[in-house]
Every structure is written in structure tokens, then in C-alpha cells.
Amino acid sequence: MTAPIAVSGATGLRGMNDSARALRRRFAGEARLGWLIASPAFAGLLVFALAPCLVVFAMALSDWQLGAPSARFVGAANFRALAADDGFWISARNTLVYGIAVSSGSVLLGLALALLIEASPLGRLFFRTAFFLPVVSTTVAMAVVWEFLLHPTLGPVNVALKRLGLAQVPFLADADLVLPTLCAIGIWENAGFNMVLFLAGLRTIPSDLYEAAALDGAQPAWERFWTVTFPLLGPTLLFVAVISLVRSFKVFDTIVAITQGGPHRASEVMLFTIYQEGFGFFRIGYASALTIVFLIALVGVTTLQMRLLERRVHYR
């Protein structure tokens, strides 16, 4: 009786080993297929994202000028010159002010618009389309329209102020007003995009939760917002806040089309400074150093924002 048992046990063990090898071969085949499918995207990421970053870092350590046949290694000289450049600090401050103002203002306005549209079905499609219009329109075209509206003499805004007996305001020519004016334009431009994202987030909240909150005594709309809407909208709010901050820090088209960084650098931002240094003054090495600092600052601010906001986010 012992031998058949041993043979049966050995046969079962061999069968288990064969099954394990077949399972490993299957997983290995699926892994190779996965890598094969992902290889075009990985190659695109390598060629169009990682490789340019390495090239920019290499150029930041040189004194290469656009069109020059050769370049000389200068180490951290560009970064030292950047730290002593007052123009860099002005554009960095303007970028920080613009990014914080536009991202926070567009998030709040987008949330308010989404709540108003979702609460009232009357004209819902019209208001969605109207507020989303700046998103699908060309940024430069919208910038030109705003430049005309705010013209110091011919613009409809100043014409209306004059007819009301008020002093005309040089919104885009005053160094103290140009950045707040551009921030207001940026908030208007980004609010529609954020509104659509918030509308999508509001649709995922079950209606029975509002009924339960009302039965528990949360009758006013603001109480239902704080107890139901705001906590459940946390993941959407985090995503919108991060995306808005990145979009705001990357502002370029509006500045170029309206102010060209003026007057007196009062509206100059980091991307415009990089463009000027690289393609205006042909200082590619210095522009590359600016680019690296800008990317590091953007990643740092975004990471800080995510860590601060994610603590209050509740995922369902």
C-alpha cells in the first residue's frame, strides 16, 4: 500500500510544479505583451520629455548662445548670475502672485458657478456653454478682445466710466494695476474649465445623502454644502486646485498678446523671461538655467499644495 501512495504523491507534486511553471509562463507572456503595448508611449515620454530635460540641464551648465558654433562649460555660473539678477526676482514674484491669485480665484468662481447651475435647471445648458466659451476659444483672440475692452481711451470699459463721470483708468498701462487686471482676466479664463470639472464631481454625489442630511436637521443650503457636498467633492477639489495652479504658473500667451511684460516689467512672468532670454537675447544657457529653476519651483509648489490639501480629502 505504501508504493502507490508514494507514486500518487509524486505525480501530484509534478502536476503542481507543471501548473506553477505554466502560470509563470503565462504571467511572463502577459508582462512582455504589456511592455510591448506600452513601449510606444514610453518611447515618446523618453524622446519628448526626459531627453529634452537632460539637454536643458546640460545647456544650463554652458554659456551657449543661439547660433554659436560651440559652447564652453561654465558650471553653476548661470545659476549664480540668476540669483543676482533683479529681473529674475521680479518675474518670480509676479509669477507667484499671478499663480496664487488666479488658481484660487478660478477654483472658487468655478465652484460657485457649478453650484448655481446645478441648483437651478432653468437655462442650465445656456450657462454651461456661456461660461465654458473662454476655454474653447483661442487664448490670443480672447487676449486681444480684452486689450480692446480695457483700452485707456477707446475701450468700452473706460468709455462707460467717462459717461458715468468717473476718471478713466489705465488698466494695462499702470504698473500698479496691470498685474491685478491680468489676474482678473486669468480668473475669467480658467473659471469655465473648473466649472465643468466641478459639475462632473457634483453628479457623482448621491441625492439620497442630501435627503438624509435634511432629515438630520441640515435644512439650510449652506449646511448641506458643508456636511455633504464639500466633503464628497474633496477629490475633485484637489484635482482642480492642482491643475489650476499648474495652468496659472504656465501663463504665457496672455502676457505676450496684451502687455509684453510691461510696463516696466510689472507683468513679466517666468515663461516670458525665459522666452526673452532664449529667443530675444539668444542666451540659451541662461534661459536653460531659468527653466530648471522654474520647473523645480513648480514641482515644489504643487507638491506642497497636494500635501496640504490631501489631508482634508476623504476618498469614498
pTM here is 0.84
Tell whether 174 is covered by a domain. Answer: yes
pLDDT tens digits, 217-257: 766 777 878 888 888 898 899 999 999 999 999 999 999 99
Give how far Cα 271 sits from Cα of 35, 98, 113, 135, Å: 36, 12, 30, 21
Q: Which of 221, 134, 132 is nearest to 124 (CA)?
A: 132
- 227 with 151, same domain: the answer is yes
- 249 with 281, same domain: the answer is yes
pLDDT tens digits, 181-220: 999 999 999 999 999 999 989 888 888 887 787 777 766 7
Mean pLDDT of 37-51: 89
- 87 with 37, same domain: the answer is no
- 140 with 266, same domain: the answer is yes
- 135 with 40, same domain: the answer is no
Tell whether 103 is covered by a domain. Answer: yes
Q: Which of 49-63, 124-138, 161-175 has the least mean pLDDT?
A: 124-138
- 48 with 183, same domain: the answer is no
Q: Are 153 and 171 in contact (CB under 8 A)?
A: no
Which residue segment(s) compose the domain that 131 sits in? 77-310
Tell whether 253 is covered by a domain. Answer: yes
- 171 with 39, same domain: the answer is no
- 94 with 215, same domain: the answer is yes
CATH at residue 278: 1.10.3720.10
pLDDT tens digits, 10-25: 565 565 666 777 777 7
Cα separation, 210 vs 213, whole angstroms: 5
Q: Which three cell numbers stand for residue 150?
A: 480695457
**What is the residue whose three cell numbers read 475692452?**
149
Angle at 161 between CA 158 and CA 166, to 5 degrees: 125
- 253 with 166, same domain: the answer is yes
Q: Which of 166, 102, 90, 158 is nearest to 134 (CA)?
A: 102
How many folded domains does the chain comprise? 2
Partners of 62 in the β-ladder = 73
Residue 1 confidence class, pLDDT cut points 50, 70, 90: very low
